[in-house]
A and B are shown apart, each in its own frame.
Chain A
Amino acid sequence: QSALTQPRSVSGSPGQSVTISCTGTSSDVGGYNYVSWYQQHPGKAPKVIIYGVSERPSGVPNRFSGSKSGNTASLTISGLQAEDEADYYCCSYAGTYTVFGGGTKVTVL
C-alpha cells in the first residue's frame, strides 16, 4: 500500500499550462482505469475534478484534463487561473485498497 508519487510543487503564470504526474505500479495505476484527481483549497474538503482517468464531472472546467500511460497518470491544467492555486491529489483503485498520491501544490505566479 505505498503512496503514489507526485511532485511536491509545480507553478505557472496565468494562462500557462501545467502538468502534474502521478506514478504508481502495475498493481494500482497501471492495472486499472480507475484514477481520480482531487483539488483541495485550504480548509476545504477535497473536490473531484477527474475520475476514470479522464472523465470530468459536470461543472468542472474543461481546462482540467487527465490521461494515463503505463504506470503514470497525469493531470494537465490548461490556461491556468488564479483560482486553480490549490493542492492536487491523485488516487488509484488497487483492488483491495485505494491509494492516494502525496499531493502537489500548484502555485499561480
Chain B
Amino acid sequence: EVQLVESGGGLVKTGGSLRLSCAASGFTFSDYNMNWVRQAPGKGLEWVSSISSYSDYIYYADSVKGRFTISRDNAKNSVFLQMNSLRTDDSAVYYCARDRSDMPYDWGQGTLVTVSS
C-alpha cells in the first residue's frame, strides 16, 4: 500500500522559513516523480513543485519560484520542500503526491503551514 506522510508544518512569521518532509513507503520511491501541491483554507488546489525520480528535472509554480526549493533523498525514501521568505498567502495545507502518467496520483494527508505577520 502506498503511504505518503508529510511533516514539518507549523506556525511561522512572515519572512521566515520552514522545511517540509514527505516520507514514502509501499513502492519503489526512486521510480517515481514527486510533487508538492497546496490548498489555502477554503480555496482550491495549487500545484507548487515537482521533481523527477533522480532530480534531473525540477519545476516550480511562478508563485514560489526563487523562494521554495524541492529536493529528494532516494536512499531515505523522502522528498522535501524548503520554503524561504514565507508570505501570508503561502498559508495552506501542503500535500505530497506521487506521480503517475505525469500527474499527481497518490496523495498524503497533508501538513498545515500558517504564516502570520
By the criterion CB–CB under 8 Å, are B101 and A103 in contact? no
By the criterion CB–CB under 8 Å, are B104 and A98 in contact? yes
Q: Which residues of A contact B104 (CB under 8 A)?
A: 36, 38, 46, 48, 91, 98
Question: Nearest B residue to A101 by beta-carbon distance?
Answer: B44
B68-76, B80-88, B107-115: which lies at the interface: B107-115
Q: Which residues of B contact A40 (CB under 8 A)?
A: 45
Question: Nearest A residue to B46 by beta-carbon distance?
Answer: A100
Interface size on B, residues (CB 8 A): 23
From A38, A45, A97, contact of B59 by CB (8 A): A97
Say yes or no for A1: interface residue by CB 8 A criterion.
Answer: yes
Q: Which residues of A contact B102 (CB under 8 A)?
A: 32, 34, 93
By the criterion CB–CB under 8 Å, are B103 and A100 in contact? no
Say yes or no for B95: interface residue by CB 8 A criterion.
Answer: yes
* Category for how many chain A residues contact B: 20 to 34
Q: Give the distance to chain B from A71, nearest Cβ to Cβ, in Å.
A: 17
Beyond A45-B108, A46-B95, A103-B44, list 18 extra A-B contacts (CB 8 Å): A38-B45, A48-B103, A48-B104, A48-B105, A51-B100, A89-B44, A91-B104, A93-B102, A97-B47, A97-B60, A98-B35, A98-B50, A98-B103, A99-B47, A100-B37, A100-B44, A100-B46, A100-B47
Interface residues of B (CB under 8 A from A): 35, 37, 44-47, 50, 59-62, 95, 100-110
- 26 CB < 8 A contacts A-B: A1-B61, A3-B44, A32-B102, A34-B103, A36-B101, A36-B103, A36-B104, A38-B45, A45-B95, A45-B110, A46-B37, A46-B45, A46-B104, A48-B104, A51-B100, A51-B105, A55-B101, A57-B105, A89-B44, A91-B103, A91-B104, A97-B59, A98-B47, A98-B103, A100-B44, A103-B44
Q: Which 7 residue pairs across A and B have the least CB separation, nearest first? A: A103-B44, A98-B47, A36-B103, A100-B45, A45-B107, A93-B102, A52-B101
